[in-house]
Amino acid sequence: MTDDQFLLDVMLGKLATYLRFCGYDTVYAQDENIEADDALKQFAESEQRRLVTRDRELAARTDGALLLETRDVADQLAELAADGVSVGFPEEPTRCSVCNGLVRTLGEEEDRPEHAPDDIDPVWQCRACDQHFWKGSHWERMGDIVAGVGETDHNSL
């Protein structure tokens, strides 16, 4: 099991997006159509991923699992940080928030999607699903939430 590869159960979809933006290789169980506890446990073990769950029983019987108590994504990030997961927002994305694929920077000569603002640079594209990303208001909001994790009193969770 590695500390930088996660499997998140179906209750943690929003957290999966944040961990991917933070650069973590994060599989979301719903994307893989995995809901049964035994299947989650087996997938985590076979893929050597650390299971992150809100299910007490599942966490108790899965080696290395991280049990989250809260529902709010900022609080969940703070719980992960308290458990030793480095939570920080990168200068540039490395993973697609949609599919977990790796992203690449579009070259100046490459076509940008029509909906991308002309004054935004760089633009990234997922190598797996072709989704495009750029630093806009969504990036800033997510960055503010991640930055706030360092300001959270982890002992109060």
pTM, two decimal places: 0.87
Asked whether residue 1 carries a pLDDT value surpassing 60, the answer given is no
SS3 per-residue string spanning the chain: CCCCEEEECCCCHHHHHHHHHCCCEEEEHHHHCCCCHHHHHHHHHHCCCEEEECCHHHHHCCCCCEECCCCCHHHHHHHHHHCCCCCCCCCCCCECCCCCCEEEECCCCCCCCCCCCCCCCCEEEECCCCCEEECCHHHHHHHHHHHHHCCCCHHHC
84, 90 contact by CB (below 8 A): no
What's the start-to-end Cα distance of the chain, in Å?
26
Asked whether residue 153 carries a pLDDT value surpassing 80, the answer given is no
Q: What is the percentage of the chain residues whose pLDDT exceeds 90?
A: 66
Higher pLDDT, 108 or 58: 58
All structural domains of the chain with their residue ranges: 5-89+151-156
HSE-CB for 97 with a 13 A CA cutoff? 18
Strands 103-105 and 66-67: unpaired
Mean pLDDT of 67-73: 96
- Other Cβ atoms less than 10 A from the Cβ of 120: the count is 12
- For residue 123, what are the β-bridge partners? 134
Please give the pLDDT value at position 155.
Answer: 39
Please give the pLDDT value at position 143.
Answer: 85
Structure confidence by residue, pLDDT tens digits, 120-148: 889 999 999 999 988 888 888 888 888 88
Structure confidence by residue, pLDDT tens digits, 75-114: 999 999 999 999 988 888 999 999 999 999 998 888 888 8
Please give the pLDDT value at position 3.
Answer: 64
Higher pLDDT, 2 or 40: 40
